[in-house]
Amino acid sequence: MQLSEHIWGSVVNNDYDSNYIDAHIKNIRKKLNAYAPPDWLETVRGLGYKIKINV
pLDDT tens-digit map of 9-34: 666 555 556 677 788 888 988 888 88
Q: Residue 22 class from Cβ within 10 Å (0-12 exposed, 13-18 middle, 19+ buried)? A: exposed
In this prediction, residue 45 carries a pLDDT of 86
SS3 (DSSP) at 47: coil
Q: Residue 25 class from Cβ within 10 Å (0-12 exposed, 13-18 middle, 19+ buried)? A: middle
In this prediction, residue 2 carries a pLDDT of 67
Claim: this prediction has a pTM higher than 0.75: no
Percentage of the chain with pLDDT > 70?
67
In this prediction, residue 18 carries a pLDDT of 67
In this prediction, residue 8 carries a pLDDT of 65
